[in-house]
Amino acid sequence: MKRMLTMLPLLLVSSLSLAQIPALPDDAQTLVDAVMPQVIEWRRDFHQHPELGNREFRTAGIIAEHLESLGLEVQTGIAHTGVVGILRGGQPGPVVALRADMDGLPVEERADVAFASRVRTEYNGQDVGVMHACGHDNHMAILMGAASVLVGMKDELPGTIMFIFQPAEEGAPEGEEGGAELMLKEGLFNTIKPDAVFGLHVWPIPAGQIAVREGGTMASSDEFTIRVNGRQTHGAAPWAGIDPIVVAAQIVMGLQTIPSRQLDSTLTPSIVTVGAINGGVRSNIIPDSVEMIGTLRTFDAETRRQIHERVERTATQIAASAGATVDVNINLGYPVTFNDPELTRQMAPTLQRVAGERFVEASLITGAEDFSYYANEVPGVFFFLGIGADDPALVHPNHSPYFYADERALPVGVTAMTALALDFLRNGAL
């Protein structure tokens, strides 16, 4: 993650001005300090009792109860288990949304913590362990803490804050819809449409570090299936048929020329990965067909469109050269997570004020995030919060069964989300 350490020279305010400006007003900082024991308690409870996407019933109940206790307008059951709280400030002004995701992963925990998950459940017909291996327990606890702080400042808030607790960011179970896309489909922004939306994701960089970048930040993620149709024959007489296995091998190699030779690699990176090839049953039978599946990722909407077009063209024409045909199907996944450049420049000083010298430029991340759907509707900024421990042995990637979050990051997260909301409301919409 060396590129994470590159500073954002165009976005930074001076070190002197940082020293003179506190991250939060004194009254807000007092509220943050007061809520932190509860934030840690929430985080550990969520971690010990994770739930998979569209099944976050216990989790949603705890969140809704807290938001109701704060006197917010609370809506539940959005996109199955989503929870939304509305805080209307004492003065008129813009609307800002803050988002946290709720679901765990089908991962059996191996991290050595006292509050490790021992939950097991069924996932796609298999018995699996469940773990917050991507840190969503931290996201929820941070946003619940920020809600407590901001409610304590309600009378002086110039505008409205929407707290979005979203299920199924990791994807809905087979045959179900879910996540940000479904929340929007069910009318999340119909009654109150925010002027901006902010979200964070914990990441295995040094604890308390905040990383952000303008533009494409996390990749789009699409899945493809290519079925190569040949003609079955005896393995001893390949000329009597059309070998789809050889054609599939040529297509695999041809697909790699799309990012390396057909797209301008100086504009944005892209990835074409074939993850599986299946075909044939015996060593001496050339089969009728071969199926390939894979993933396409990039950081730009136009590049995404071009990759789709070129995957189909490459596969079709390579197959045709051998007398075979192909069926190409591309299933759209999450769009590019795109940080609005103007909003990012406006709010970067806020994040730097919170993180100080720990404020850095984020690397491009080829993983995908369905925060992208919100940012396609309104200007958005998605940033990363470091949870990496000082001991390298405790630093593991997201989705690892050993994933470990250093809780020193939690007050930084609460402060950052609180400060973003306050600064945006007070400085006005874009």
Phi-psi region of 37 (alpha: psi -120 to 50; beta: other; left: phi over 0): alpha
Whether residue 150 contacts residue 27, with contact meaning beta carbons closer than 8 Å, is answered with no
Handedness of CA 272, 273, 278, 284 (dihedral sign): positive
| Secondary structure percentages of the chain, helix, strand, coil, to 5 | 40, 30, 35
121-146 b/e (C-beta count within 10 Å ≥ 16 → b): eebeeeebbbbbbbbbbbbbbbbbbb
Q: Is a pLDDT exceeding 70 seen at residue 9?
A: no
Convert the pLDDT of each residue in 227-275 to its tens digit.
999 999 999 999 999 999 999 999 999 999 999 999 998 889 999 999 9
Amino acid identity for residue 75 in this structure: Q
Q: Is a pLDDT exceeding 50 seen at residue 7?
A: no
Q: Is a pLDDT exceeding 80 seen at residue 278?
A: yes
* Residue 181 CB-half CA count within 13 A: 14
Between CA 161 and CA 150 the distance in angstroms is: 9
* Residue 400 CB-half CA count within 13 A: 13
Q: Is a pLDDT exceeding 50 seen at residue 11?
A: no
What's the predicted TM-score (pTM) here? Answer: 0.92
Question: Once rounded to an integer, what is the mean pLDDT over residues 379-392?
Answer: 98
Beta strand 215-218 with 91-101 is unpaired
What does the pLDDT read at residue 15?
39
If we measure between CA atoms, which residue out of 50, 60, 143, 142 comes closest to residue 105? Answer: 50
Q: The domain 2-216+336-427: what is its CATH number?
A: 3.40.630.10
275: how many CB neighbours lie within 10 A of its CB?
Answer: 10
How far CA 173 is from CA of 80, 137, 184, 280, in Å, comes to 12, 20, 18, 30
What does the pLDDT read at residue 124?
86
Q: Fold for domain 220-331?
A: Alpha-Beta Plaits (3.30.70)
Active-site amino acid positions: 334, 407
Amino acid identity for residue 350 in this structure: T
Share of the chain above pLDDT 90, in %: 91
What does the pLDDT read at residue 430?
63
Between CA 104 and CA 368 the distance in angstroms is: 16
Convert the pLDDT of each residue in 127-159 to its tens digit.
999 999 999 999 999 999 999 999 999 999 999
Convert the pLDDT of each residue in 296-318 to its tens digit.
999 999 999 999 999 999 999 99
Q: Is 410 exposed, middle or buried (0-12, 13-18, 19+ CB in 10 A)?
A: buried
Q: Is 170 exposed, middle or buried (0-12, 13-18, 19+ CB in 10 A)?
A: buried
Lowest average pLDDT, out of 94-103, 187-196, 203-212, 262-271, goes to 262-271
What does the pLDDT read at residue 23?
86
Between CA 337 and CA 200 the distance in angstroms is: 12
Task: Give the chain's mean pLDDT.
Answer: 94
Q: Name residue, tokens 């087979």.
A: 174
Tokens of 321: 């050269």
Q: Is 172 exposed, middle or buried (0-12, 13-18, 19+ CB in 10 A)?
A: buried
Between CA 131 and CA 141 the distance in angstroms is: 16
If we measure between CA atoms, which residue out of 151, 178, 181 comes closest to residue 167? Answer: 178
Whether residue 241 contacts residue 34, with contact meaning beta carbons closer than 8 Å, is answered with no
The alpha carbon of residue 363 and the mean position of all alpha carbons in its chain are separated, in whole angstroms, by: 14
Report domain extents, the chain: 2-216+336-427, 220-331
The separation between the first and the last C-alpha atoms of the chain, rounded to the nearest angstrom, is 32
How far CA 407 is from CA of 24, 97, 413, in Å, comes to 20, 24, 10
The pLDDT-based confidence of 429 (bands split at 50, 70, 90) is low
- Number of residues that this document lists for the chain: 430
What does the pLDDT read at residue 427?
87
The alpha carbon of residue 217 and the mean position of all alpha carbons in its chain are separated, in whole angstroms, by: 10
Q: Name residue, tokens 């024409």.
A: 317
Convert the pLDDT of each residue in 53-72 to its tens digit.
999 999 999 999 999 999 99
